[in-house]
Amino acid sequence: MELAFRPPLQRRALLEWLAARAVPGVEEVEGGTYRRSLRLAGGAGVVEVELDDAGTSGRSARAAIRCRLLLDDHGDAEDAVARVRRLLDLDADPRAVASVLRADPLLGPLVAAAPGLRVPGAVDGAELAVRAVLGQQVSVAAARTAAGRLAAAYGERLEHPRGGVVALFPSAQALAALDPASLPMPRARAAALVGLCAAIASGALRFDADRDEARRALLALPGIGPWTAGYVAMRALGDPDVFLVEDLGVRHGLARLGGPTDPRAARALAEAWAPWRSYASQYLWQAPQRT
């Protein structure tokens, strides 16, 4: 099928973002195709989307992405499509974002150079939250490795694997039952991960609830701080106005552009970027080095 979107769209940027974070066994990028497993009501599935950069962001480019679904239960097709759209942020309005950010002296050149940059979301809120905890104070590569190990140990094998996609990401219920001491990570992080999954499994934390309510529930959990809660709000809850001032990559982006890195000054600067501060964070993550 084809998934429509409002152009422009930075396909290559999406592909590179997903490739850098692809969990081995659960996700893979092959050429211009991104592939991953899905946990759905009727069983498992695998989705493939073509994100090659042919006609990437030009107005003449066809405003649709080719998508292939391989599902245990065809009744899950509508839900699967909705999850892929959230992952790729295909319902965004890039012109509305640009109308605010392009006028900014700091971000304007980035927006002009890469119009239609999306904020990648998530196919599953619980998975994203677990991956956010795994990413606390470590590099993207280290978080990816940790998630791959978790998937290999506790993910369910697919009956119909596709390429390198052979498993589902572990469920919150499965991870909530673990002894934190059995996990190969710092003790505090392991306890935070198991506690998070217990809250999800019990229904105390829901990703279909009000964003503010979900964020409060996250921050009430031991080991969940502002960065983790903000990252989950941005990607799992679809909040378009999160400014991750605590994020090292965001601060590096500000520094590369000659902007303030002091948190208070950065927050003050970012007020002008509302209500699209999640997109501003994405541009800062990908800001090039000044020459």
Specify the CATH number for the domain of residue 76. Answer: 3.30.310.20
29 assigned to some structural domain: yes
Q: What is the pLDDT of residue 48?
A: 98
Q: Are 89 and 235 in contact (CB under 8 A)?
A: no
249 assigned to some structural domain: no
Separation CA 16–CA 289 (nearest Å)? 18
202 assigned to some structural domain: yes
Q: Is 247 tagged catalytic?
A: yes
114 assigned to some structural domain: no
Q: One of 52, 53, 72, 247 is an active-site residue; which one?
A: 247
Which of 186, 213, 235 is the last residue before a domain boundary? Answer: 235
CATH code assigned at 162 = 1.10.340.30
Range of the domain at 207: 125-235
Same domain, 223 and 139: yes
pLDDT grade, residue 55 (50/70/90)? very low
pTM: 0.94
**How many domains does the chain contain in total?**
2
User: What is the average pLDDT value for the chain, to the nearest integer?
Assistant: 94
Nearest to 186 by CA among 142, 219, 217: 142
215 assigned to some structural domain: yes
* pLDDT per residue as tens digits for the range 260-285: 999 999 999 999 999 999 999 999 99
Same domain, 139 and 228: yes
Length of the chain: 291
Cβ burial of 33 (10 Å; 0-12, 13-18, 19+) is middle
